[in-house]
Copies of this chain bind each other. A is one copy, B any other.
Amino acid sequence: MDDPLALRPGYALRRAANAMMGELSARLAPIDLRIAEASVLLLVGDRADMTASDIGRVLDIQRANMAPLLARMDAAGLIVRAPIDGKSRAVVLTADGLVRRRQADAITQEFERDLMARVPIDKRDGLVPALNALWR
């Protein structure tokens, strides 16, 4: 397809991200995970010291939007909350959550291999550092 905007970095970045998100969503659907939920599982891992606010700060998700996200994961039996003090609670993966995390890890790693395989080999190593330079 002829697309005169494809030379523009911002446009190419948006289209690439949209395509990636759509495909990743489809690959996570069989294990009933959304992308944000998989991110939480992979970030928290086997730690037991991250609050909802901590997770939100790392993943750039507002506190207010963490509440329904974690409520859904709680209802799905993936996480529990462990009191830290009177106002904070740690998000901790359940046994089911740890299993789901391993599945999500396998799916995302295979997905990332497939993604990078589409990139010309001489441009592969530079891609992730270049992307991270745009926001970190």
Contact = CB atoms under 8 A, between A and B. Distances in A.
Interface residues of A, number: 52
Contacts of A42: 4-5
Contact of A9 (B10, B60, B127): B127
B43 A4 contact: yes
A132 interface: yes
Q: How many copies does the complex hold?
A: 2
Interface of A: 1-21, 24, 35, 39, 42-43, 57-60, 108, 111-112, 115-116, 118-120, 122-124, 126-136
26 contacts: A1-B136, A6-B136, A7-B128, A8-B112, A8-B128, A9-B128, A9-B131, A10-B20, A10-B115, A12-B128, A13-B16, A13-B131, A14-B20, A14-B35, A15-B135, A15-B136, A16-B135, A19-B134, A20-B135, A119-B134, A120-B133, A123-B126, A123-B130, A126-B127, A127-B127, A127-B130
